[in-house]
Structures are given as structure tokens and as C-alpha cells.
Chain A
Amino acid sequence: MTSIRLQLLKWLLGPILLVNLVLAALVVGLAWTPAQVAFDAGLIDSAELMAARLAGGAAPQLPPAAAANKDRIWFALRSAEGVHLAGAAGFPPLQPGRAAYDAEIDGEPVRVVARLVATPAGPRQLGVARTLRQRLEVRAAIVRSLTVLVALVTITLVGVVWLSVSNGLRPLARIRAELAARGPDDLAPLPAEQVPYEIAPVVTGFNELLDKVEAGARAQRDFLADMAHQLRTPLAGMQLQLEWLGQRHAADPETGRALNLMHLANERMIRQVNQLLALARAREGRPNGAPAALDLALLVQESVQLFVDKAGARNIDIGFELDAAPVSGDAFQLRDLIDNLVDNALRYTPAGGQVTIACGRHGQETLFAVEDSGPGIPAARRSAVFERFVRLDDKTAGSGLGLAIVRDIASAHGARVVLGDAAQGGARVSVHFPQRS
């Protein structure tokens, strides 16, 4: 994996360093020339002073001011023909003139100034030489400070680059955070408006991929729904045929038993098919666009007949406590949610038991609750029952999809499902919806 930050730094660091070094070299060069001129001027002064004394007939001697600090200083006095008369023996050849020039004494570089002097003893050549120690020291100091400066500037630039790259990459971090916060079924496209021009192609590409995944998921759901629908007609036919056979063979217990088993199997298939449809719907999120303003009490009333028939068949006392329960959402999904919770309660409550369906406002929430007098759900199993195909026991026929469907639908409506204990000792499942504003 490569890092854009590191790549950019790598590309920028070289050029930045190079530019800084070139600048530093220029500064050193520029500072060196005036220093050289100043030092040379000092040397020329010493030579002129000495020459003036010689011209006055004094003995050759270096002016006291010239013997300065770390530098060594020499002189040489030669005849016009170049014969050595006084001063340092190893003095380099003299080239009398205005400018100072470079030479070496005892292997150490020196600057030399030479003059022609008319002394009382005749014309003489005078040379004064001085080591470069002090000026080299000054130059070293300049280079040292420049190095520190260049380093500081480079480090600052690196920091600035790092910060600006991080800033520039912030939209990516935002996208990552948005994706991380999503549920597994949320395939909505990423917002492309606030994304910078450079990242837009990535977002567009990603959204196209999301579209494809969404289309795939939709095709799968449609297939599931289509299958379920296709199965309903033959299942309905089978049910009627079995009912008829059962009535016809009511007198024959052996046949009756077999037919009853077939009837139960058929009913299980019907339920499973209906559950698959409900699951396909629940996974669809919001199928019909804007959520509608609904009343759970009215939705329950639509199914009262069905619930009473089922309860009657199992000899269960079913009761209702329906108050106005405003929610906003999808009527089909909420019907599925209600059906599943009531169906579960009726399924797990033994004959002679009680099931109570309630809805209404509760504080800031709208509540739908189903209580039964069945065995209840042990606290340890309460999270497991929301998984698909998990059933509490093997005796009761169920698809194992019920509570998973309930949970999917509840979360699509911003509601939470709470499992608890009923007053009669059974289970109490309540769904807490945010109240419609």
C-alpha cells in the first residue's frame, strides 16, 4: 500500500532541498566576496604602512596592528632584481601591483600584497602575506548558520506539505467515515456535491458500483418475491384438496392422521412462503418512497379477524388494548411486523392461555406490544432469537424468520424492539417507534 502523503513528500523533498542548497551556495558566494575585499583592504593597509616607513628609511618591520589574532603574517623585502634582503625566507614570488593574490607559505594558503618601494638604499620589492585562518573561520560561521537556516526552512516546508496534503485528503476521510457508519444493507449513493473535483471520479465510480450491487440485491429480492408468489396458487390448491380429503375420510383415523400431517406440512410451507415474502419486503427498506402517516391501531384492526380465528382455533383468549398509535412508515411492512409478533405469541402460547395486543402513545414514543402467557423467552436467549432461522424449540412449527423480520422492519422505521416478561409470566415483545411529528 502506498501513501499519497509519503509519495508527495518524496517528490517534493528533493526539489525543495536542491533549491535551498543552491540558494545557500549563492548566499555564501555573495557574502564571501565582500569579506575577501575587506580582509584584502586590511592587508593592503599594512603593506602601504610598511612601505611608507621603508621609504622614510626605517628598518623593515611589520606594523604592530598587523600581527592580529590567529592569523600569521609575514613580510619579505627584496631588491629590484629579486634578491632576498629581509623577512621570511620561504616567501612566494612577488608580483608588485594593486590587487592581492593567492599563494602558499609552508604549505598554508595565504593572501599576498606586493609593492615597489623607493627606499633611501634604492628601489626595493616589499611583500606582505597573511594566512586565511580568520576569513575561513568567518566563512565557516556563515555556512554553519546557513545550513541551520536551510534545515529549518526545509523542515517547515515538509510540515506545510504534510498539513496541506492531510487537509486535501480530508474529503476522503469524510467519505470513509460515512461508509463506516452505514448498515450492511445501506446501498444509497455517496453524496457527490461536496466532493472536490479530483475525487469526484472515484465517488462516481463507487456510486456506479453501489448501483450495480443494489440492482443485484433488488433482482434477488424480486426473484424471492416472485418465487413466493408463484408458490401460493399451488399451495392454495393443495390446501383445499387436503381439506376435502380430510372431511371425506373423517371416519378413517389412519387416513385422517396422515391427511392431518400433510395438512400441517402444507400450512408450514404456506407460512414459510409468506415469511419469505415479508423478508423480501423488509429487506427492501422503504419500497414506496415517502413514509405514510399511519395508525397502528387501525392496522391491527384490519387483521383482528385473522388473529381471532387463529386464537379460536388454538383456544386462546385474545384481547386488545388499542389506543391511537401514530407512526410514519410503510403499511405493508408494519402489517408484517404486527402479524409476525402476534403469530409468534399465538404459536408459543399453550391452549387455554392468553394473548394481549396493545398499542398507544407512551411518553415520547409510540408503542406496540404483544404479551402472552406462554413460557417466555429466557434472558440468555434474547439476543439469539433475532437471528434468522433460530427457533426457541423444535416442537413448535415456525420459520425462524419472524423476529428477524420484525427487527429489520423496526430498524427501517427507526424503532427498537424490546423483549421482556409479561405480567402473566410469558413473553412481552414491545416495539418502540419514534412519535410522528
Chain B
Amino acid sequence: MALQLLLVEDDPVLADGLQRALQAQDMYLQLVRDGLAADAALQAGGIDVAVLDIGLPGIDGFEVVRRLRARGAATPVLLLTARDAVEDRVRGLETGADDYLVKPFATAELVARIRALARRHAAPSTILSIGSLSLDSGTRRARVGERPIDLSVREWGVLEYLLQHAGRVVSKQQIIEAILPWGDDVTPNAVEVYVSRLRLKLDGASVAIRTIRGFGYLLEAAAPSAA
């Protein structure tokens, strides 16, 4: 699924770099350099995620978001800011932006945030996949490559949550809250049990569930295990 992005950045070097980096991630990119052009592009529609610099010529990023939300559009917006003063963050999120990133940022972080925003706003019941692992939440089938794997309800819940947040650290508490609809009481120890079972079942898949000691887990793409 190639995302259609609107990138609004007036610094030519950064804009050019973002263009290259995001296109390499299979994203289509429309680049504009000032607030008014951004406003026009957003009105034209067809954009999955808007990446907006705050300091723009013409009208600034806050104003672009404000106009977008005033029109009732739900297009997710990620703000880029060179400032990290409290006011900027608060103002940005109050105006209706969905997320913000302080410059300079790692490309991986930017891509992860864009994908997360797109996922949150995309239609549900899509196929989630990373490496050779794919989860079809419509049919509730999980597969490693072509091989189907059997998952209990809770294992499914844990894996789906990890996959939805692939590349991100999630805490055990977050996992518990995500799978609670299926059960009454889930302890952190139980989560550990589900994860160790999942690791066995995902053996051979090109994904790994990394343990973050004392905190939670991180699902990431990995080289297929030698076994």
C-alpha cells in the first residue's frame, strides 16, 4: 500500500532529503514550500498523511492545520519543528495536529510515525505484515510465508498489537490493556508466557520479538533464524 504524502518544507536541502528518503520507503510525495500552497493541496484532497513544517513562509504550519480542521477534514498531520518549547508542542496538538517530531530526526522514526498515522486513519480489517509474517484480521488467519500458524485468542491479540506497533517499543501494560476485551485478568507474567509461545510459533519467520528488560517488547524484522 503506497502512501500519498504531502510534504510541506521550505528548507530546500531538508525537503530534498526527505523526498529521497520517503520515496525510498515506497511513499508518493507531493512537495510544496509554503503554507498557502499546502492549504491548497490539502483542499484538493487525496492525501493520506501531511508532513508539515511549522515555520513556513506565508501562513505557518499551525494555521494550515487550523484551516484543515475548520473544514472538517480528518487528514492526519505530522508537524516538524525546529523548536521544542512547550508552547509549540501544546499549540500544535491543540490546533489539531496528530503528532510532532523535533528536527533533526532519524529517518526510521519519521517513517514509523507516518505509517502509524496512516494505519490509524486507514480502513480497519487490513492485512498486517512484516517480513514473512502476515496477519489477516478479517479472516483472523496468521501465516509465516505460506505456512499457516495456529494462535490462541490471546496469542493473536498480543501478536496483532505487536504487529500494529512494529518497530516500536510496547510495554507489557499496553499489551494487557489491548487484549483485555478477551479476558478478565491478565498478569505481566502471563504476557511473558504468550510471548515465549509466540516466539516458538514464529520460529523461522523473518521477525523477532525483542525483550526490553523490565519494560516490554519490540517486534522487528530480522534475518531468518539459522535453525
Number of interface residues of A (CB under 8 A): 33
Chain B residues with CB under 8 A of A247:
24
| Contact yes or no, B82 A229, CB < 8 A | yes
Cross-chain contact A238 with B214 (CB below 8 angstroms): no
Say whether A243 contacts B21, CB under 8 Å: yes
* Residues in chain B near residue A332, CB distance under 8 A: 84, 86
Question: Which A residues lie within 8 Å of B215 (CB)?
Answer: 304, 319-320, 322
How far in angstroms is the closest Cβ of chain B from A346? 14
Interface of B is mostly: mixed
Do A305 and B18 touch across chains, with their CB atoms under 8 A apart?
no
Question: Chain B 173-203 against A: per-residue CB contact (8 Å), 1 yes, 0 no?
Answer: 0000000000000000000000000000000
Within 8 A of B (CB), among A191-239: 229-230, 232-239
B20 (CB) vs chain A CBs: closest residue: A244
Out of A234, A305, A312, A320, name the residue touching B168 (CB < 8 Å). Answer: A305
Contact present for B106 and A309 (CB under 8 Å): yes
B16 touches A237 (CB 8 A): yes
Residues on B with C-beta less than 8 A from A230 are 82
- Using known A-B contacts A277-B84, A309-B109, A320-B214, determine if residue A239 contacts B11 with beta carbons closer than 8 Å: no
Look across to chain B and name the residue whose beta carbon is closest to the beta carbon of A300.
B215
The answer to the question of A317 belonging to the interface, with a C-beta cut-off of 8 Å to chain B, is yes
User: A residues within 8 A CB of B213?
Assistant: 317-320, 356
Q: Is B107 an interface residue (CB 8 A)?
A: yes
Question: Is A237's CB under 8 angstroms from B214's CB?
Answer: no
Q: In the complex, A318 Cα to B215 Cα: how many Å? A: 10
In the bound complex, do residue A244 and residue B212 qualify as a contact, i.e. CB atoms below 8 Å apart?
Answer: no
> Is B104 interfacial (CB-CB < 8 Å)?
yes
Q: Report B1-40 residues with CB < 8 Å from chain A CB.
A: 11-18, 20-21, 24
Q: Do residues B214 and A319 form an inter-chain contact, with CB atoms below 8 A?
A: yes
Task: Confirm or deny: A288 has a beta carbon within 8 angstroms of a beta carbon on chain B.
Answer: yes
Residues of A in contact with B (beta carbons under 8 Å apart) = 229-230, 232-241, 243-244, 247, 270, 277, 288, 301, 304-305, 308-309, 312, 317-322, 331-332, 356
Binding site for A on B (CB under 8 A): 11-18, 20-21, 24, 82-84, 86, 102-109, 168-169, 171, 210, 212-215, 218
Beyond A240-B14, A308-B218, 10 extra complex contacts between A and B, CB < 8 Å: A229-B83, A233-B82, A237-B11, A237-B14, A238-B17, A240-B17, A244-B20, A305-B169, A318-B212, A319-B212
